[in-house]
Amino acid sequence: MAELVPPMPDASPPRRVLRLIARLNVGGPAIHTILLTAGLNPTRFQTRLVSGIEAAHEGDMLGLAAEKGVVPVRLPTLGRELHPLRDLKTLWQVWSQMRDFDPDIVHTHTAKAGTIGRVAALLLPRRPKLVHTFHGHVFHGYFGPVKTRIFLAIERWLAKRTDQIIAVSQEVADDLVRYGVVPPGGVTVVPLGLELARFASTMPTGDWRRRCQVAPDAPWIGIVARLVPIKAVERFLAALVPVFAAHPEARATIAGDGECRAALEAEASRLGIADRVWFEGFVADVAKLLVELDVVVLCSKNEGLPVSLIESLAAGTAVVSTSVGGVPTLLANGRFGRLVAANDAGPGLAEGILATLADPLAARRMTDEGQVAVLSRYGSQRLTTDISRLYEELFHPTAESPGGSQPAEFAENKALKEAEASADREN
């Protein structure tokens, strides 16, 4: 649904926004860009979404795009992997899209698109305003030291030429400062905004338990993730061994797919738990699965702001997670879900799962509070309002922040944090 903002006067044509993302694979960045493209008021912003092509094992969000009436321009040469000759061709194609569209704003998402998109924009005869969103970063957990240093040098160079840097969580923003990508105060935090009402309203039917062969009263643990190295799903499998020992009737489901699937299936067999772990692949309507699970786990080595935890809390399902990226803020430092060490290889996750299963009333209280919080803070309407304001301030800046005043979410978050601190002192 487009944001409810009065239209600009007829004399002011909508500002043209070219939005670029490397690929619309299953995950938060693709959902974010599609909802923004669909949700911005068309009388104020005319948006063209340009993306690359997903790998065969990744799955895509084209169904959501079609549902929202978004028709992306697809560039077959644009993808995640570095390939110098192909990337030069992609640079030319992106530049050509920009020459054709003549954008007022170029807003890039993800590292590869951020590099190619901003370089292409800098080569235009009329330089647009440049915005880049960090949905996470690749400064640890992804590559070796040499490649990481190269990526850091590129990001630092580009940041100096970018009008507005956005991070999806305060933790990601802090990392950008810590790694020298931006100076203190040089980044604005705009959290993800998702369509969460259906997660809160979906009721369990038992269909998924029957599909995954889980008894009605058996503990059921799940993970929703791309099966790629950074998600470290092998930690989830390691955690299940003591959980299954304590609860022989328990079962687990892995919703997702990716390059590591075969290795993870082999690891489940090696651990002797293959008969109790169901590999489902990508799930189209994940809300129906989440509401039936007892616990959802995230065990990533690095994250920006994980969609799976936001959606799980919106569905009213307990969560256990490694303390990475924006997770501590999302879970209010353990108030809305159980946190374990970022480098935990399984034991801490197992303890968190077992503690959640052992005290369902405490888990319910945590989850209920978390559900209220995510429904109020991570909605798509808030996202489009924040980004609309930020875009306008690129042309009419105020004195309060790098690109103008901070989005409304941050005054709200500050007040919420102060209220929570006051409540904690009273308890």
Map tokens 């309203």 to a residue.
201
Q: How far apart are CA 348 and CA 234, in angstroms?
A: 14
Q: How far apart are CA 368 and CA 18, in angstroms?
A: 39
Residue 121 pLDDT class (50, 70, 90 cuts): very high
Residue-wise DSSP of 274-322: GGGEEEEE--SSHHHHHTT-SEEEE--SS-SS-HHHHHHHHTT-EEEEE
Hey, is 139 helix, strand or coil?
Answer: coil
From the number of C-beta atoms within 10 Å of its C-beta (0-12, 13-18, 19+), residue 98 rates as buried
Domain ranges of the chain: 15-195+379-417, 197-377
From the number of C-beta atoms within 10 Å of its C-beta (0-12, 13-18, 19+), residue 107 rates as buried
Assess whether the region 15-195+379-417 and the region 197-377 belong to the same CATH fold. yes
Report residue 29 as tokens: 């960045």
CATH homologous superfamily of 15-195+379-417 equals Glycogen Phosphorylase B; (3.40.50.2000)
Specify whether the CB–CB gap between 134 and 165 falls below 8 A: yes
Q: How far apart are CA 256 and CA 376, in angstroms?
A: 27
Specify whether the CB–CB gap between 157 and 133 falls below 8 A: no
Q: pLDDT value at position 426?
A: 42
Helices assigned H by DSSP within 141-196: 145-159, 170-178
- Looking at the chain, the whole-number percentage of residues with pLDDT higher than 70 is 89
Q: pLDDT value at position 44?
A: 97
What mean pLDDT, rounded, does the chain reach?
91
First-to-last alpha carbon distance for the chain, in angstroms, is 40
Q: pLDDT value at position 150?
A: 87
Q: pLDDT value at position 142?
A: 65
Inform me whether the pLDDT recorded for 141 exceeds 70.
Answer: no
DSSP-assigned letter for residue 95 = H
As separate numbers, helices (DSSP H) first and strands (DSSP E) second, the chain gives 17, 13
H-helix or E-strand containing 339? strand 338-340
Residue-wise pLDDT tens digits, 161-172: 999 999 999 999
Residue-wise pLDDT tens digits, 369-403: 999 999 999 999 999 999 999 999 999 987 554 43
Residue 411's CB is within 10 A of a number of other CB atoms, namely: 11
Q: What is the mean pLDDT of residues 335-340?
A: 98
Report residue 379 as tokens: 């909605």
Inform me whether the pLDDT recorded for 4 exceeds 70.
Answer: no
CA geometry: angle 61, 62, 67, nearest 5 deg: 105
Report residue 395 as tokens: 């042309």
Query: 3.40.640.10, 3.40.50.2000, 3.20.20.70, 3.90.226.10: which CATH number matches 197-377?
Result: 3.40.50.2000
Q: How far apart are CA 1 and CA 336, in angstroms?
A: 29
Q: pLDDT value at position 11?
A: 59
Inform me whether the pLDDT recorded for 28 exceeds 70.
Answer: yes
Q: pLDDT value at position 58?
A: 84
Q: pLDDT value at position 2?
A: 53
CA distances from 416 to 38, 152, 271, 329, 413 (A): 29, 34, 44, 12, 5
